Structure 1
Amino acid sequence: MTTTEWLRTLVPLVADLPQDIPEAERYRRLLHTLRTLFPCDAVALLRLDGDALVPLAIDGLSRDTLGRRFKVAEHPRFATLLAAGQPMRFEAHSPLPDPYDGLVEGLRGELDVHDCMGCALSFEGQVCGLLTLDSLQRGSFTDAHLTVLQAFGSLASATVGAALRINRLAALARHEHQRAESYRRAAGRPQRELLGHSPAFKQLMREIDLVGPSELTVLITGETGVGKELVAQALHARSPRADQPLVSLNCAALPDTLVESELFGHVRGAFTGAVSERQGKFELADGGTLFLDEVGELPLAAQAKLLRVLQSGQLQRLGSDREHRVDVRLIVATNRDLAAEVRAGRLRADIYHRLSVYPLPVPPLRERGRDVLQLSGFFLEENRSRLGLGHLRLDADAQGALLAYDWPGNVRELEHLIGRSVLKALGRHGERPRMLTLTAADLGLGTAPALAPEEVAAPVAATPSPAPLPTLGGRRLREAVEQAEHQWVGEALARHGHNWAAAARELGLDRANLIRLAKRLGLYESRRERRVPR
């Protein structure tokens, strides 16, 4: 390529620098130009985020690469490039493992002898990322290419810098993420963040960016496992309260007798076992954000007190007459239809309107298209690091199986599936392979879960067949549903001798939720009520 052709190729990138271009498009143009200038099969632009490199854009690599987080300490090639201070080329027979082994598109098996070079990118005097180039053809890169990469690296740094300056909201989100990540590392908790590129996911992120900086109460809705808690964390990170605490409470995990104490606190002697004074979640979240998960499970008594806090910011600890004032931004989540709960009398209408100021639906995984591959990459990298594996990848059939599956359990189901499949694939090898490839058979998405041996051996007559559902018979749907619930719960309790835990397991409910349902249906009897008089 002549100097004139080279300059003609770079001019559009220079012209793009002051333009307000979407970040993804800016990076796409950068990599397209890079592949025009250099004889390479795969290129990647990575941002340095703490101790890990995060892919911003890729060309020629498997799409699940975007979901991976490459810890610099675990990838010596990346560490060498970051420390070099100038572009460098690795020898074809370099003993350093390649982070992209198994990720180059169109290549089956291990990444054999090949050419690789890259350079560190800087912003405001600090290293901010990497640009990497890989060619499957040995001898593709020369010293002349290194000289060109030196100039191109400066332009790439300017491109990244322009994106950082123009997209101020994205810069703020990254800053908040880095701070939250430092807290997670200090607590020893694994990294978790929202990932995706699908239209449904982008719409969710636009909603988060819009309502996050406000003080509005947000009602996060969605199926089980879609990541409602991560959405709550993202809302908090974008709010002016981001440097204040985010306190979480799962309302479904508490019995009715402890809900008020957990929310509002208690004083010594308020109830049996209250041996000292204790702050509730509202006071702990004062100045910050309180996230109530499964808010539809709150008992009516607690709903009334919650309404008072939302209206006036005042609360009383259980057993105390003293008023406490709090300043809390509330975010709630549920997988229930709260409007239907209001109609059924299980949720107060006034509390419903207070909680649903800004409804924010989270799309299920089956509506997010190829996001499943990006999320799979994230979970693969987690498992690779945790199990001490060299390389972990999905073959083409496995990727197709992930895309075709319906995901009733959403992202949580995907996380568990990847962890389970990695262990199954590892079990197929006598010794740990250098690169472990997951197949569609390892995922097992087309097979039903196996029954336990005792379930297989149990005679069919051991479990009575449920009675047929009652017909409406002129009644309202709610009345028919309540009669069916009464029948099912009553029969389950009778079969298990009023053992609430065993009945709850059969019905697929939490024990506290079953007791709450039984009370509403008039089936609850305390031990004292069931005691036979002498």
Structure 2
Amino acid sequence: MTSVNRTQHQQLLRQLTPLLTDLSREMPLRTRYQRLLDVLKQVIPCEAAALLKLDGETLQPIAIDGLGKDTLGRRFEIAHHPRLARIIRAEGAYLFPPDCPLPDPYDGLIDMQQGLVHDCMGCAIYIDDTLWGALTMDSLEVGSFSASDLPVLEAFASLAAASISTALHFDAIRHRANDQQRRAEAYRLQAHDAAGPVLDGQSNAFRTLQKNIDLVASSDMPVLITGESGVGKELVARALHERSLRADQPLVSLNCAALSENLIESELFGHVRGAFSGATQDRPGKFQMANNGTLLLDEIGELPLSAQAKLLRVLQEGELQRVGSDRDHRVDVRILAATNRSLDDEVKAGRFRMDLYHRLSVFPLHVPSLRERCDDILPLAGTFAEENRTRMALRALRFSPAAQQALIDYPWPGNVRELEHSIARAALMARSHADNSGVVTITERDLGLLTSPATPDTSPSPQSEPQQTRGLRDAVDDFQRHQISLAIAHANGNISAAARALAVDRANLVRLAGRLGIALPGKKRAPDK
């Protein structure tokens, strides 16, 4: 062995030593994965590297280096990404030729770069002969990788498999006492696509929320879920139910604000035939429907006082009577309540019973606003961008640097729900003026985020007075522009469906959109005047 080769091997050994030492240590999974990518980029220089985990028919980035933070929120469907499909089906590491025509999933996602990926290679990761995920490496410079890099990448894939297997072993030991609960959680993750949106985040505030959910989920304690509109209180309730011992029983939800006072008792407790006009047959209420399961009382602060007293009796005694009946029915229900109001203030104002408040808030759980979890904004934006990319059949949907900064700076008074709708609307706007490459960039203008209405500047100044005197027309136009864009986004670009949702004639909607400067799908944006 020459002195040059000996030096290279010694350097490689020094680089790998920390990873080998990690195999005997217990550490957070995120830290373990990130250390793996750090060393990989030292050994094989590149612009971007990613560790992806297989989840059904998708690959989910769980650690990245050199890619935009929103990448962590994306899910790459294997059927729509032929490069990823080839990597996980190849025997060993695979290097794509620079002129490969297959689209790269990371085009436009590499930090601070606008170019498309030129060099790409990857390797599947197997644990116990089962496909677990993949390692990918990308460069913007042709010729960055060579065939000599493939054995090194394969070695890293084996090291990654060992590291992941070790982490799973530690995890199994730590959670063995709660094996049944972990199986329920695994079922929840497998049902992700069918069940709809799930809680997702990496910020400290969100991790604290997740710890509290795990802490109280397995008990039968009533939980009072508080937080602003749009933060995901219903998702928290679903997580509490699915991680509980009642996960195989129904989760029933009732929006207390959506019913009139004379119907709320029937909805809660049921009624018998003839109890009131229109009661043509016996009907069980939400309590009996949720028997042995969980009942979510959403917007509990809207519940009338008359119904609060009867609800309290059921919570105390576990018995109810249907409207029009004197027969008692026993129920075993875990209660979750959600509200965006301060029930403490409602009690002081005499609008909510103190005894009911204390009965419901045995374990209060506050869901932080998006302003309190800024680190989650870009990953969530990436999640919603990927959903819209798939829906619109785009090659790539990315954010410009200015758009990313605008997402971070905006205070999000509507929280996660507003973020989701804003990304859908911006994706539609961006597609309307994009070229035919299939790579669409959402700009700050497409987002159209204005200063938060929650923190207006009310200080008088001479400069602001002219805007205040001529602002009514502009405000009406902005409102119409927002509603039309939102309706079109929700209708996936179908103008007729959007017109129906807005209760206007289609032709009138097209004319109004033209006046407001809204680019409709299939039509070019009118030039700015």
2:331 is the alignment partner of 1:326:
yes
1:137 and 1:40 map into 2 onto residues whose CA distance is 9
Q: Paired residue for 2:51? A: 45
2:400 is the alignment partner of 1:395:
yes
C-alpha spacing 1:104/1:5, structure 2 compared with 1 (3 Å): same
What's the offset of the Cα at 1:185?
4.5
What's the offset of the Cα at 1:174?
7.8
Amino acid at match of 2:80: E
2:475 and 2:72 map into 1 onto residues whose CA distance is 44
Q: 2:226 aligns with which of 213, 221, 232?
A: 221
2:239 is the alignment partner of 1:234:
yes
2:157 is the alignment partner of 1:149:
no
2:157 and 2:299 map into 1 onto residues whose CA distance is 49
2:313 is the alignment partner of 1:308:
yes
**Would you say the 8 A contact 1:426–1:432 is kept in 2?**
no
Q: Which runs of 5+ in 2 are unaligned?
A: 1-6, 454-470, 478-529
C-alpha spacing 1:433/1:320, structure 2 compared with 1 (3 Å): farther
1:124 and 1:273 map into 2 onto residues whose CA distance is 62
1:246 and 1:306 map into 2 onto residues whose CA distance is 18
1:133 and 1:454 map into 2 onto residues whose CA distance is 48
Say which SS state the counterpart of residue 284 (structure 2) adopts.
coil
Say which SS state the counterpart of residue 143 (structure 1) adopts.
coil
**Would you say the 8 A contact 2:192–2:198 is kept in 1?**
no
Deviations 1:408-441 (A, max 9, x none): 1111111111111111222224x65411101111
Q: Paired residue for 2:259? A: 254
What's the offset of the Cα at 1:304?
1.7
Deviations 1:282-325 (A, max 9, x none): 22222222111111111122212221222222222222222222
Equivalent positions of 1:340-419 (< 5 A) are 340-419=345-424
Say which SS state the counterpart of residue 416 (structure 1) adopts.
helix
1:313 and 1:51 map into 2 onto residues whose CA distance is 44
C-alpha spacing 1:296/1:322, structure 2 compared with 1 (3 Å): same
Amino acid at match of 1:180: R
C-alpha spacing 1:421/1:61, structure 2 compared with 1 (3 Å): same
Amino acid at match of 2:291: D
1:452 and 1:166 map into 2 onto residues whose CA distance is 62
**Would you say the 8 A contact 1:49–1:178 is kept in 2?**
no
Q: Paired residue for 2:131? A: 127
Q: TM-score, normalised by structure 2?
A: 0.80
What's the offset of the Cα at 1:64?
0.4
2:108 and 2:299 map into 1 onto residues whose CA distance is 41
Q: TM-score, normalised by structure 1?
A: 0.79
Moved over 6 A (4+): 169-174, 447-454
Q: 1:100 aligns with which of 103, 106, 127?
A: 106
Q: 1:421 aligns with which of 395, 418, 426?
A: 426
Q: Which runs of 5+ in 1 are unaligned?
A: 457-534
Q: Paired residue for 2:95? A: 89
**Would you say the 8 A contact 1:86–1:120 is kept in 2?**
yes
What's the offset of the Cα at 1:235?
1.5
What's the offset of the Cα at 1:399?
0.8
Amino acid at match of 2:135: L
Q: 2:142 aligns with which of 126, 138, 144?
A: 138
Equivalent positions of 1:62-81 (< 5 A) are 62-81=68-87
Deviations 1:376-411 (A, max 9, x none): 111111111112222101100011111111111111
Q: 2:210 aligns with which of 205, 211, 215?
A: 205
Q: Paired residue for 1:266? A: 271
Say which SS state the counterpart of residue 24 (structure 2) adopts.
coil
Q: Paired residue for 2:526? A: none
Equivalent positions of 1:429-468 (< 5 A) are 429=434, 432-446=436-450
Say which SS state the counterpart of residue 271 (structure 2) adopts.
coil
Q: Paired residue for 1:518? A: none
**Would you say the 8 A contact 1:31–1:44 is kept in 2?**
yes
Amino acid at match of 2:446: D
C-alpha spacing 1:54/1:290, structure 2 compared with 1 (3 Å): same
Moved more, 401-410 or 193-202: 193-202
1:124 and 1:87 map into 2 onto residues whose CA distance is 18
What's the offset of the Cα at 1:125?
2.9
Say which SS state the counterpart of residue 224 (structure 1) adopts.
coil
Q: Paired residue for 1:61? A: 67
**Would you say the 8 A contact 2:226–2:233 is kept in 1?**
yes
What's the offset of the Cα at 1:241?
1.8
Deviations 1:256-277 (A, max 9, x none): 1221222222222222222222
Q: Paired residue for 1:476? A: none
Aligned length: 450
Q: Paired residue for 1:508? A: none
C-alpha spacing 1:151/1:455, structure 2 compared with 1 (3 Å): closer
| RMSD of Structure 2 on Structure 1 (CA) | 2.4
What's the offset of the Cα at 1:50?
1.6
Amino acid at match of 1:160: I
